[in-house]
Amino acid sequence: MSPKQKQRFVLVSLLVVGLGTGIGLVLMALNENINLFFSPSQV
């Protein structure tokens, strides 16, 4: 593997891990705060 290919592989790997972590954190935050049920007194 040439240095250029290795650098590209590391960059793509870090990008995928970063995106996965970011999406996971966003989904966890949304999942904790979402409330689809409103009681009659709240409506």
The pLDDT tens digits for 2-35 are 999 999 999 999 999 999 999 999 888 887 777 7
CB burial of 19-32 (b: ≥16 within 10 Å; e: otherwise) equals eeeeeeeeeeeeee
CA Rg value for the chain? 20
- Say if residue 43's pLDDT is above 80: no
Which band of pLDDT confidence, cut at 50, 70 and 90, is reported for residue 40? confident
What is the domain range of residue 21? 1-43
What is the count of structural domains for the chain?
Answer: 1
- Which residue is it, tokens 């891990």? 17
